[in-house]
Amino acid sequence: MAVKALVLAAGAGTRMKSSAPKVLQDLAGLPLLQWVLDAIAPLPLDEIVVVVGHGAREVEKILPEGVKARLQDQQLGTGHAVRAGVTGMDIGSNSILVLPGDMPLLTKTTIRKLLDHHQEGTAAATVLTAEIEGSDFGRMVRDGTGRLVGIVELKDADPDQASVLEVNGGVYVFDGNLLGEALESLTTENAQGEYYLTDVVGMLVGAGHTVDTVVTDAAELTGVNSHQQLADAAHLVRRRINQRWMSEGVWMQDPDRVYIGARVQLAAGVRIFPDVHLEGTTEVGADTILGPDVYALDTRIGMGSRVWYSVMRGSSVGDEAEVGPYASLRPGTVLEARSKLGTFVETKNTRLGEGAKVPHLAYMGDADIGARANVGAGSITCNYDGVSKYPTKIGERAFIGSDTMLVAPVTIGEDAYTGAGSVITQDVPPGSLAVERSEQREIRDYAARVQARKKKKQQGD
């Protein structure tokens, strides 16, 4: 029997007070909906349909290939959403897995358990539940013998029903034929005036069918309806991600202060100090030490490197390189093996060859710096004339004196030197020294002359 999945993602998410659709809110670098799609991706599903409505266009953009979108043009409730979702779908003798798009902590293991339970038994539907105190979820209402009779939303519950701890996770597997029939009979006679998917459960039981439940832990059913809940979910996800990396050999001084995106890759032996944020497709090689205080986005860092108090975006750092403290690597920065980018250095679209060093207070933009070259403190590539950007090339082993202004386009040859304080506007041939500054003058006995002037002024007073 084939299984088809429906992910409900049309809701507005009113409680977020955000113009973006709720299911696109970011959680550890991925939209909420992506977490649910990732959880079901490895399951043997015949078809995956996402019901879209609010911000449908933006939501459709993130759907992976093979996942279809179906529009629910008015959000009249979860039952209405499922009806929209199954329109044009061959539900017949298939099982239909229904999931909310706003429950990012659901795991594939739990969903698989629910599916297996349903397929091994004969129930018309199987519902994922948990025992949660003080939840605003629908209540699983049972008769005196413990048999499930229906699901009652909290807003429709009497005090007895409201006191039930077992709640509806909003994840279900239905027999396709029976679901199709029940959807036709849904009404909006309830506190919210909506078509409730939960009513399908009561209808099935009323018609003499069995509905089973599978219990999971409360954390997996963390729903996101507000910014507080989004932060709570982010906390749980962070713990999950960090635990996983620690089990793979990553050391963290304080895992509560390490923020690793869902798509980041770390090798064993990486060491992470507090307040490190790794985002996007960042990758870190073995034995590299990060932090305190590192922000890295879409950046590749090699093995045995050290980065602290620094920001790196769209950059690449080789093996055994050193970055920081207080370096800013803007997109297009490439640091080759054993190179060093030190304190208060900014780079953009710049390559540092093997073993090259820019240790202090510099800006290198659109520069190609050869292997083992050294750029002195206070040096700057003047790469922008207010209209266009120009390249600077520094040859291998060149020595750029402190406070050199490299007015691009300009080339400094291999083994060449520039004198401290020079404004270099012309190419420097390999092996030469270029000095551009006026000659030093000395005024003899200057201090004595000042003293004499002071004395004269006092006498005049």
Tell me what percent of the chain is helix, strand and coil, each rounded to the nearest 5. Answer: 25, 30, 45
418 makes contact with ligand UD1 (CB under 6 A): no
401: partner contacted, choices ligand UD1, Ca ion, none (Cβ within 5-8 A by kind): none
Q: Which residue has the tokens 């113009």?
A: 19
With contacts defined by CB under 6 A, name the span among 96-104, 240-248, 293-301, 374-382 that binds ligand UD1.
96-104
Query: Shortest approach of ligand UD1 to residue 54 CB, angstroms?
Result: 8
Q: Which residues are catalytic?
A: 360
Nearer to ligand UD1 by Cβ, of 224 and 334: the residue is: 224
Query: Shortest approach of ligand UD1 to residue 317 CB, angstroms?
Result: 40
Return the SS3 of 197. coil
Hey, what amino acid is at 393? K
> Rounded to an integer, what distance in angstroms lies between the CA atom of residue 413 and that of residue 379?
17
Closest CA to 359 of 316, 327, 311: 327
With contacts defined by CB under 6 A, name the span among 95-103, 207-215, 232-240, 246-254 that binds ligand UD1.
95-103
Nearer to ligand UD1 by Cβ, of 78 and 216: the residue is: 78
28 makes contact with ligand UD1 (CB under 6 A): no
138 makes contact with Ca ion (CB under 5 A): no
> Rounded to an integer, what distance in angstroms lies between the CA atom of residue 206 and that of residue 229?
35
With contacts defined by CB under 6 A, name the span among 168-176, 178-186, 313-321, 352-360 that binds ligand UD1.
168-176
In a 13 Å sphere around the CA of 38, the CA atoms on its Cβ side amount to 15
> Rounded to an integer, what distance in angstroms lies between the CA atom of residue 201 and that of residue 212?
10
Residue 299: CB atoms within 10 A of its CB come to 26
Identify the burial level of 439 via C-beta atoms within 10 angstroms of its C-beta, where 0-12 means exposed, 13-18 middle and 19 or more buried.
exposed
101 makes contact with ligand UD1 (CB under 6 A): yes
> 264-283: which residues touch ligand UD1 (CB under 6 A)?
none
Hey, what amino acid is at 314? G
> Rounded to an integer, what distance in angstroms lies between the CA atom of residue 368 and that of residue 349?
9
Query: Shortest approach of Ca ion to residue 156 CB, angstroms?
Result: 16
Interface ranges with ligand UD1 (CB under 6 A):
8-11, 51, 53, 72, 75-78, 80-81, 100-102, 137-138, 151, 153, 167-170, 196-198, 223, 225
Interface ranges with Ca ion (CB under 5 A): 223
